[in-house]
Amino acid sequence: MAVERALYDERTLTRMLGMRGTQFVVPVELAPVVQAACGRPSAARSRRKLVEQLGRAGIAEDPARWLAEIEQSTLRALAARGEATAVELAGDEPRLREHVVVPGPPDSALRQPVAVSVLLLLAAEGRVVRTRPLGSWINNQYRWAPTTTWFPDGVAHAIADPNADPSTADARVELVRRWLAAFGPGTVADLRWWTGWTTGEVTRALSRVGTVEVDLDGVAGLLLADDVEPAPAVEPSASLLATLDSTVMGWSDRHWYLGDHRSALFDHRGNGGPTVWWDGRVVGGWAQRRGGEIVFRLLEDAGADAVAAVEAAAQRLGDWLGTVRITPRFRTPLERELCS
């Protein structure tokens, strides 16, 4: 598939930790910006937390030094192998088999191998990247590779070197500009939620971006100063978007495109499930049953044209998936009901 080729063969896309400390797939040329704007600050917090977890576990008298040693030996093992799984690296560096306790679901905690925490930290710092998953493209276990061998020298340097340009402040300005270009108009609250930054950090970035204020049904919104012309009209169309699709998750205030469907289409943590869109708004949800059938339910009367278009989109999606079976990690009430 095209995305797989772009990720692993052409390497024009990369999967990385970005906004809100979650995974995003971004163009390689944008990776240094995401790394500087979000990865570096997130990695610093992750390092402090991991050192605390190692200390509580009693693994070492000097957890910070112990962690630094493990990181270096892990990177050496990974460089020798070229690519490796966490299990393979734990064979090379047995200390990766130690366990720490990490926060889990409400009122619970999880024991997690140090290997997972170390690799996620190295990824957050831009020193390693996820490569091909084990098995099919929907597998959530990955191989890892050093950033400096996976990407061309210039890009790798910009991602992996904490002193490389752009600076965090400059990168945040560029990221805000790109968000406004893609998702604008939007609000400061939208940007704060999407980036995971503080209000002050968002405001400082916005002060360096040329914006104009617009009215969003009584709420102050922002647009890029050179993007004020009305968007051209387009014909209504139907789309079946996946769990956590960037369109579904692009704004904090979602009522204007989600309506009253939040309780059916989002889980209790705010993760958006599979959604059905018609004419630029959410009108229902969909799911894939065990046999592969794509089923959907419209949560409002969108008209006969919408029903026909959604049926056709569901058929195309089922044909495209073929024998692949998908179970969303974050399951929503409607998705569960459709699968029952």
Better-predicted residue by pLDDT, 340 or 86: 86
Which segments of the chain does DSSP mark as H helices, in order?
2-4, 31-34, 40-57, 63-81, 86-92, 114-124, 147-150, 153-160, 168-183, 188-195, 199-206, 255-258, 262-265, 304-321, 333-339
- At residue 3, the pLDDT reads 85
Round to whole Å and give the CA distance between 119 and 128.
8
Whole-model pTM: value is 0.88
Mean pLDDT confidence for 307-316: 97
Indicate the range of 77-86, 103-112, 151-160 predicted with least confidence: 103-112
Better-predicted residue by pLDDT, 225 or 230: 225
Better-predicted residue by pLDDT, 238 or 111: 238
* pLDDT band, residue 14 (cuts 50/70/90): very high
For 239-254, how does the pLDDT look when each residue is reduced to its tens digit (9 = 90+)? 999 999 999 999 998 9
124 pLDDT higher than 70: yes
For 16-30, how does the pLDDT look when each residue is reduced to its tens digit (9 = 90+)? 989 998 889 999 999
Task: Enter the tokens of residue 260.
Answer: 């009253």
For 39-92, how does the pLDDT look when each residue is reduced to its tens digit (9 = 90+)? 888 898 999 999 998 988 888 889 999 999 999 999 999 999 999 999 999 999
Q: In terms of Cα–Cα distance, which of 299, 1, 275 is closest to 138?
A: 1
Q: What percent of the chain has pLDDT over 70?
A: 98
- At residue 100, the pLDDT reads 82
Q: In terms of Cα–Cα distance, which of 9, 3, 14 is closest to 123?
A: 14
Mean pLDDT confidence for 35-39: 92
Whether the CB-CB separation of 297 and 338 falls below 8 Å is answered with yes
For 174-198, how does the pLDDT look when each residue is reduced to its tens digit (9 = 90+)? 999 999 999 999 999 999 999 999 9
Helix (H, G, I), strand (E, B) or coil at 110: strand
Mean pLDDT confidence for 312-325: 94
Task: Enter the tokens of residue 303.
Answer: 């008209």
Better-predicted residue by pLDDT, 291 or 108: 291
> What is the distance between the terminal CA atoms of the chain, rounded to a whole angstrom?
30
- At residue 104, the pLDDT reads 61
Better-predicted residue by pLDDT, 270 or 110: 270
109 pLDDT higher than 70: no
Task: Enter the tokens of residue 305.
Answer: 């044209």
